[in-house]
Structure 1
Amino acid sequence: MSEHGLRGAIFDVDGVLVDSPHEHAWRESLRDLMLGEWAPIRDRSSWSEDAFTPVVYQEVMSGRPRMEGAGAALRYFGIPDDDEHLHTYADRKQDLLIRLIDDGRFRAYPDALRFVLAMRAAGVPLAAASSSKNAFRFLRAVRMDVFARDEGLDTASIDEGATLSDMFDADLSGRDFARGKPDPEIFVTAAAELGVQAEACVVVEDAVSGIEAAEAGHMLSIGVARADDEVGLAEAGADLVVTSLDQVDIARLVRGEPVLRRPETDLA
């Protein structure tokens, strides 16, 4: 961390900023295939309707680009990951995901939106860096002016009609990189586009692969455990693990000290 403190904050999108329907889309599209056109190979796989759990999604697929995620799931369940199966699954999931987004089947996490606004108020440059090519759809669908008014927050610095996308100084989401997470390429590039050193940035992630990427890039990291996966995020090297970004002491984070806010009753 720079002796001058935090110089940039880099955010994953799915699972950190929004509760996206990615997991639902992956699960349901595979279910449709296994109960439909892929039924002949079902008994030769380990797939069942109960086997595709949130833990499987988090540990096997979360944070990966679409084709990598599809391949990881197929291999996990013992389904051939040849080009035909891979593209059929990835395309089926993408079609379902777009329908879910267009139907408004997702929500933004209020703690994350408060955190973004607080970091902006502290003058920290922000970047979005998701592997998902759909991240921009979520960012543009969240009205930050409406959120701030509903929360009773200062709206002086938020333009009418501003979306979550407008809160970021750089957005690398969905960009093609030679190496995906846990390689740090996307985060190191985000720091460069913010004009700051990678070591002076904090990465906010919900996936183990993302925390590992931050660790590899020598960045601070905050693991947001929205799926009861505190242990996995900590073991991956997160400097701080929280279940809500409201728990982060932002003043100390900006100084380069990622620590929890102390409860008012904790006077020790």
Structure 2
Amino acid sequence: MSDKLQAVIFDLDGVITDTAEHHYLAWKAIGDELNLPFTREFNENLKGVSRLESLRLLLSLSPVELNYSEEQLNALAERKNDLYKELIAQIKPSDVLPGIPELLGKLKRLGIKTAIASASKNAFSVIKNLKMEEQFDIIVDAAEIKNSKPDPEVFLAAAEQLGVKPEACVGIEDAVAGVEAIRSAHMTAVAIGKKEHFPHAHVTYSCTAELNADALIELHRQH
């Protein structure tokens, strides 16, 4: 890999702010409407996955095959998104996860670029509600991404838009599919969560408060 770290690319949900609960509640409402046994445990499968793919996973919980038209699928996905947007409208700057403002400030002082690479098409709204528009050089538009994580497309798009090589980047994720996407993009992979869940990560931190710019630079140098 390139010795010099040039960019840090962040997932949004669970890394910058914890919108995972908002997603869960919105999907749970859809599951309840359809009488599907949607649980917090099953919700883990939806992390880092696109809205339509998440819906298909949700529908797979049905004991009988559900045959929805594309129009019906899109309507259900849009209903979930409307519920989610109602919930995230309440997000405010104090909802940024611990350690993130300090990390972003240090990276900016060091001249290291930053980006958001999220599957969420609401990333722009969330960042705006957090009043963090100036903290990131770019936010990848999920609407232009064809392949969901673990495909590396969104991370590669971030590197391309930043004008840096993937090998010069660190990616930070809280989902297994996201870490796999980072590795597939040939970036240094940092996971947030329980170490046993992320065997493919170069390093795992239990929470965002443990993130440190100097440690990320050294990690990248080693890998």
TM-score interval, normalised by the smaller of the two chains: 0.7 to 0.9
Pairs within 5 Å for 1:6-85: 6-20=5-19, 21-31=22-32, 33-34=33-34, 42=35, 47-48=36-37, 51-53=38-40, 55-58=41-44, 60-78=45-63, 80=66, 82-83=68-69
1:248, 1:127 → 2: CA distance? 16
Q: 1:81 to 1:133 in 2, by over 3 A?
A: farther
Q: 1:204 to 1:173 in 2, by over 3 A?
A: farther
Letter in 1 for 2:52: M
Cα offset for 1:175? 3.0
Alignment counterpart, residue 185 of structure 2, candidates 214, 217, 220: 217
Q: 1:72 to 1:14 in 2, by over 3 A?
A: same
1:74, 1:165 → 2: CA distance? 35
Cα offset for 1:107? 2.5
Alignment counterpart, residue 246 of structure 1, candidates 195, 209, 212: 209
Alignment counterpart, residue 195 of structure 2, candidates 230, 233, 236: 230
Structural RMSD (CA)? 2.2
Alignment coverage as a number of residue pairs: 217
Q: 1:107 to 1:30 in 2, by over 3 A?
A: farther
Q: Report sequence identity in percent.
A: 29
Q: 1:224 to 1:98 in 2, by over 3 A?
A: same
**Stretches of structure 1 lacking an aligned partner (at least 5 in a row):** 35-41, 143-162, 260-268
Q: 1:99 to 1:200 in 2, by over 3 A?
A: same
TM-score in terms of structure 2 length = 0.87
Q: 1:113 to 1:24 in 2, by over 3 A?
A: farther
User: What is residue 115 of structure 1 aligned with on the other side?
Assistant: 103
Letter in 2 for 1:11: F
**1:96-126 deviations in Å (ceiling 9; x for gaps):** 1111122348932122232222222222100
- Write 1 or 2 for the structure with the bigger share of helix: 2
Letter in 2 for 1:25: A
Cα offset for 1:258? 8.0
1:77, 1:122 → 2: CA distance? 51
Q: 1:72 to 1:258 in 2, by over 3 A?
A: farther
Structure with greater Cα Rg: 1
What SS does structure 2 have at the residue aligned with 1:19?
A: coil
Higher mean alpha-carbon deviation, 14-23 vs 250-259, is at 250-259
**1:56-100 deviations in Å (ceiling 9; x for gaps):** 212x21111111111122114446262355234312211111111
Alignment counterpart, residue 101 of structure 1, candidates 75, 83, 88: 88
User: What is residue 166 of structure 1 aligned with on the other side?
Assistant: 134
**Stretches of structure 2 lacking an aligned partner (at least 5 in a row):** none
